[in-house]
Amino acid sequence: MSSRRANKSKDIKVVDLFCGVGGLTHGLILEGLDVVAGVDNDVSCQFAFEQNNSSKFIYKDVSKFSSKELEELYGDAPVKVLVGCAPCQPFSAISKSKAIGKDDDRNRWAPLYRFIKLIQDTKPDVVSMENVPDLCNTKKYPVFADFLKSLSVAGYNVSYKVVDVSRYGVPQKRRRMVLLASRLGEISLIPETHDKTNVVTVRETIGHLENLKDGEVHKLDVLHRSSRLSEMNKRRIIATPKNGGSAKSWSDDLMPDCFKRDSGKSYMTTVYGRMRWDDASPTITTHCTTLGAGRYGHPKQNRAISLREAALLQSFPEYYQFDPPEKISMVKTARHIGNAVPVQLGRVIGESIKRHIETHRATARRK
């Protein structure tokens, strides 16, 4: 994955709602888009966003971010783009087997409804949203049906699809819904760039990093640090075969009680496992440096992956700074990394927007 930056477009201005530490923003910037500001209600994201993107971080809940403020950020830009990844907690907090009705507490969906209102008021030329795949189920989540209808009424051409980001060069199996909408004409995500024969692998992404013990911090890279394991978890990771092994190889004395129940047998292949060298990693979450939270064991070393490895698997460049060295935290930084839009997916969205605008301009010149 190249971190080469395209030349900055002077006439396309972007605002990133729910920006976090700037994964989406950084991908757009690498594609030459001018992200003038990011908006988020988590002030702990400010350092990373501003340090790496030379863009303004607005510490504010999007519900209190006004259309006037948004218009002022755009100024007289010829092309205005609004992007965002609304928090997905509502989708994880609700039973996936339960339908959500229109009469549900509207506050649960406030971020998406606010996103709709800002679009209606300011009418940006292009809109993009990245979110969890389940949101596409409009019967279960009427808020998305409302979102689509509002875009259509406002004159937008809309496309959306669920993608596995490993098919776009992210070294991670992660399914996300990506929506693109434009007032300029039809718009869609660029075709997939990878398939199962050329997926970017864990080995390619983290194989060059120096060995690390559990609980150790690398002396030259403060982000290359791993969680300290309990004595039991040390025994478990040692007993887990290298390169993709799982708890199926453990002796009974290593099994947690939950594994011994019929309902817990599936856990034996989904948690405490090791990543495979020559495949994309599992989905990087906010608990990605915790051995028992998923298949987050290093393929070879007896530990969970480090913060640096997690960031690389999220396609953050090695130069990306998440906090001053003395403020790096296993819990906070893992949350920042896991919540981010992969930078490479940001680049794909940015390239899709650029191609769309260039096509629209070429068509307009021919008329």
The question of whether 88 is a catalytic residue gets the answer yes
Please report where in the chains the tokens 């989904």 appear, as a residue.
270
**pLDDT for residue 365:** 63
pLDDT at 264: 65
Residue tagged active-site, from 19, 88, 136, 258:
88
Give domain limits for the chain: 12-197+344-366, 202-339
Task: Kindly state the tokens that stand for 295.
Answer: 């298949």
Q: What is the Cα–Cα distance from 232 to 227, expressed in whole angstroms?
A: 14
Which of 269, 225, 224, 216 shows the shortest CA–CA distance to 247? 269
CATH of domain 12-197+344-366: 3.40.50.150
Q: Which residues pair with 57 in a beta bridge?
A: 38
Look at residues 315, 346, 333, 350 and name the one whose alpha carbon lies nearest to residue 44: 333
Determine the Cα–Cα distance for residues 313 and 306; give it in Å rounded to an integer: 11
Alpha carbon distance 309, 298 (integer Å): 9
- pLDDT score recorded for residue 90: 55
* Segments of the chain scoring below 70 in pLDDT: 1-6, 88-106, 263-265, 364-367
Tell me, what's the pLDDT at 95? 41
Whole-Å CA distances, 323 to 68, 343, 362: 31, 17, 43
Q: Report pLDDT for 2.
A: 57
Strand runs labelled E in the chain: 12-17, 34-40, 56-59, 79-84, 126-131, 157-164, 175-182
In CATH terms, are 12-197+344-366 and 202-339 the same topology? no
Which pLDDT score, from 0 to 100, does residue 100 have?
47
Distance CA 169, CA 179 (A): 19
CA distance 130 to 88: 10
Tell me which architecture the domain covering 202-339 has in CATH: Alpha-Beta Complex (3.90)
